[in-house]
């Protein structure tokens, strides 16, 4: 009897050892990778937010400063700076998509699968009245995906707001109007969009599809 108990304890200890030494570190690394994605997207969001503020200041300035000398040169110079800033932000977006597309898809699939499997076994334990609190470890995985999706959606929603602030700028010269149209076309043809190889857009609809 003691021998059987010893064998059972050894098997259980080995299973727990394998679980905590192989599976859990792997899950922890996946969560860290997802956190890295969120921080990268937050950096892009801050850059877009700063660009929106700069254009809002230019729009407010154009409401009363058109009669000032040098208004057109100043506005064209500032718009050129903001165009370069948007081009840099777009390059950052392209670099993020090209570098992390495989990783984003892999991490999101891993988290989705883990949530589905753990929910199934949690339902099994609840249905059979088994006391098990290990499934509270599922909460970080449930929060990881909405955090990433919310950050991605926040970045993409800032682009229409930037275009709105750009269209609020008043101009009376054809050259300044042409530069505003050029900036608008740049925003149209260089959209800030996050997806996985062009198949799935990483926005809030991903949680409801």
pLDDT digits (tens, 9 = 90+) for 31-80: 788 888 888 999 999 999 999 999 999 999 888 877 777 888 888 999 99
- Which structural domains are found in the chain, ordered by start? 28-207 (1.20.1050)
* pLDDT tens, residue by residue, 7-20: 455 555 665 566 56
Per-residue HEC secondary structure of the chain comes to CHHHHHHHHHHHHHHHHHHHHHHHHHHHHHHHHHHHHHHHHHHHHHHHHHHHHHHHHHHHHHCCCCCCCCHHHHHHHHHHHHHHHHHHHHHHHHHHHHHHHHHHHHHHHHHHHHHHHHHHHHHHHHHCCCCCCHHHHHHHHHHHHHHHHHHHHHHHHHHHHHHHHHHCCCCCCHHHHHHHHHHHHHHHHCCCCCEECCCEECCHHHHCC
Q: How confident is residue 3, by pLDDT bands cut at 50, 70 and 90?
A: very low
Q: Tens digit of pLDDT for each residue in 17-35?
A: 665 666 667 677 777 888 8
What is the average per-residue pLDDT within 133-152? 75
Q: What is the pTM of this model?
A: 0.79
144-198 pLDDT per residue, tens: 788 888 888 889 999 999 999 999 888 878 888 899 999 999 999 988 888 877 7
């Amino acid at each position: 009897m003691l021998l059987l108990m010893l064998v059972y304890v050894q098997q259980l200890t080995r299973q727990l050892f394998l679980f905590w030494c192989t599976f859990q570190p792997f899950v922890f690394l996946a969560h860290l990778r997802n956190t890295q994605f969120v921080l990268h997207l937050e950096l892009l969001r801050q850059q877009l937010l700063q660009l929106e503020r700069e254009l809002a200041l230019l729009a407010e300035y154009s409401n009363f400063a058109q009669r000032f000398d040098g208004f057109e040169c100043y506005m064209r110079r500032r718009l050129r700076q903001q165009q370069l800033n948007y081009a840099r932000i777009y390059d950052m977006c392209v670099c993020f998509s090209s570098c992390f597309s495989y990783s984003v898809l892999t991490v999101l699939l891993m988290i989705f699968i883990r949530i589905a499997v753990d929910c199934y076994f949690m339902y099994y334990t609840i249905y059979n009245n088994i006391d098990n609190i290990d499934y509270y470890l599922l909460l970080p995985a449930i929060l990881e995906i909405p955090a990433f999706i919310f950050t991605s959606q926040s970045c993409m929603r800032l682009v229409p707001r930037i275009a709105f602030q750009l269209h609020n700028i008043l101009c009376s010269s054809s050259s300044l109007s042409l530069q505003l149209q050029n900036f608008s076309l740049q925003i149209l043809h260089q959209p800030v969009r996050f997806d996985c190889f062009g198949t799935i857009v990483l926005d809030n609809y991903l949680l409801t599809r």
